[in-house]
Structure formats: C-alpha cells, structure tokens
Chains A and B, each alone.
Chain A
Amino acid sequence: MYDNEAYAEIVNYTALTGTPVLSTPFPLREITNRFLSLDIPEMDGPLSLLLQPVYSEINPRNGSELIAHVMAVVSWKTLFENVSELSLITCGY
C-alpha cells in the first residue's frame, strides 16, 4: 500500500525494534526508549526518527562535505493521518 520512496525512508529510519539502522552510532535505542517511557499524549504509539543530512554548504557540490544530521522525532499519530478511521472501517463499523 505504501510503496512510495518516502514511506520506505520512514521505515528505514524507524527504530521500532530498538535496533540501530545506521552504521554511525546514533543512539536510536536510547532515544526511542526514553520517549516511549514518557506519558505524552502526542506520543501514543510508535515513533519515527528521521535524519536530514547537513552539508558544509547549502547547495551541495564538489567539495561540500556531510558534516552533521538534523534528527526529527515524530509520532506516527502525527505522521499517519486518519489511520484510526481506516481501522474502524476494516472492522465493519
């Protein structure tokens, strides 16, 4: 159903199992566990961790280096709109 590239990227960066999916040592397991241990309404359910590369120049070209990432933590409740409605329909309500 979600066969687009964007969704594949989300899945790749999602730490549902706590298993780091990147070769660099991002502390995904710790971040995920810390979030899931909190009682925050916006965060009911799985999380996605998305990484945006930061290059040494705004317009990457020859000589521009990858120097950092910006990591965004997103609740699936925010990301996947109306999924609950779909669930109700599949149950025949």
Chain B
Amino acid sequence: MFFSFVTHLSIDVVVSKFEVASAEVVDGSRRNYETLLTGIHTFATLFPSVAGELNETLPYLALRDYEAFGFGARQLTGALCFIYVPLLTTVGMQDRWEIYASANQGWIANGRSFYPDADEPIQESNPIIPYIHNLRDFEPDRSPGPKAPIWQSSPPPVDTVSCPALEFLVCLKISLKAR
C-alpha cells in the first residue's frame, strides 16, 4: 500500500527520505510534548504554592491571576486551554465545593479584563450555577461521585459557569484574535 503511491522515485530514495522525515517528526513531536509537559507541570505547582502562601485548603482555591498565568502557559506550549479541575471524592467535599464556587467568581471578571481590546462583545457574567451539574442538560448531578467539576479555565468563560459551562470556548475565539 505504501509503495503503490510511488511512481517517480526509486524505493531506496523514498525509504531514505521517509527515515529522515520520520525521525524529524518523532524528535519534533517529542520536543513539543516535553515543552507541554513542562508548562502544565509548572502551572500545576502554582496551586499548592499559592494555597500554602494564603493558608487556603486545597482544592478550594481560585487563583486571582489565573488568566495571566494561563495566557503565558498557552503561549509557551501551544495548548488551546488550561483548566483547573478539583477532585471531590466525598459528598461532603462536593457540598462544600458548591458553596465555595458560588462565593468565589471573581476570577472570571479578572480573566476577562486580561483582554480589554478583544474585538467581540463580552457578555455580562451570569451567576455560577450553584450546583455541580452535567454538561448535557445542566441538571444537578446527585451521584455520590467522585466528581471533577471544571473550575478555573484559561481562556476565561464568557457565560454561565459552574463547572463553567464551557462557554469559555467563545472566549477562546476572542483571545485568539487578541494575540
């Protein structure tokens, strides 16, 4: 199948070119992946560091300058977005999370303010849906879990968030234009 496409090059030439090009692909992809891993690892270390500094209890944390860090990490790695996803293993943690998320929405406005020149209108923020829900119908998820709701995202969301309703994708377009 592979050689059936070759009409004007000898097999030796094609094999030689393939070996060189495939090695470049592997090396380049590995470099990209290592850069990505380094970026995401560095980003992840922010949370225990800041929590320790502020004497907060993880995973209940909202980084004030999340978008500033996230923007830099996205530029460095080429990732489309970075999302912080707390791991809530008990019903008690989930109940506490719903209260926490509802009371700490300031990161959304802070994130949006990072793009003052965005050429698309940014909608006003709706209150975060005050319960953990699934993304298909936004109905409350009352299963015992564990649960991993989406929390802070870079780029920031532009509409209703809880597990932010992934409307950050709209803002993703905006941020891409704002580069």
Report A's interface with B, CB cutoff 8 A.
Answer: 1-2, 4, 6-7, 10, 24-27, 30-31, 34-35, 38, 40, 42-43, 47, 50-58, 66-75, 78-83, 85-86, 89-92
Contacts and interface: CB of A to CB of B under 8 A. Distances in A.
Given A6-B37, A40-B176, A92-B8, A79 B84 contact: no
Interface string B1-27: 010011111000010011001101110
B105 to A, nearest CB: 18
A2 B22 CA distance: 10
A53 to B, nearest CB: 7
Interface in B18-61: 18, 21-22, 24-26, 28-34, 36-37, 39-41, 43-45, 47-49, 51-52, 58-59
Main secondary structure of the interface of A (DSSP, over half): mixed
B86 A67 contact: yes
B178 interface: no
A31 to B, nearest CB: 7
Contacts of A81: 24-25, 28-29, 31-32
B131 to A, nearest CB: 15
Interface in B120-175: 134-136, 141, 145-148, 150, 163, 166, 169, 172-173
A55 B158 CA distance: 29
B17 A79 contact: no
A79 B80 contact: no
A56 B58 contact: yes
Interface centre among B36, B37, B49, B163 (most CB of A within 10 A): B36
B118 interface: no
A83 B22 CA distance: 8
B80 A86 contact: no
B103 interface: no
B71 interface: no
Contacts of A27: 134-135, 150, 163
Contacts of B30: 4, 6
Contact of A58 (B6, B34, B49): B49
Contacts of A50: 36-37, 40
A67 B18 CA distance: 45
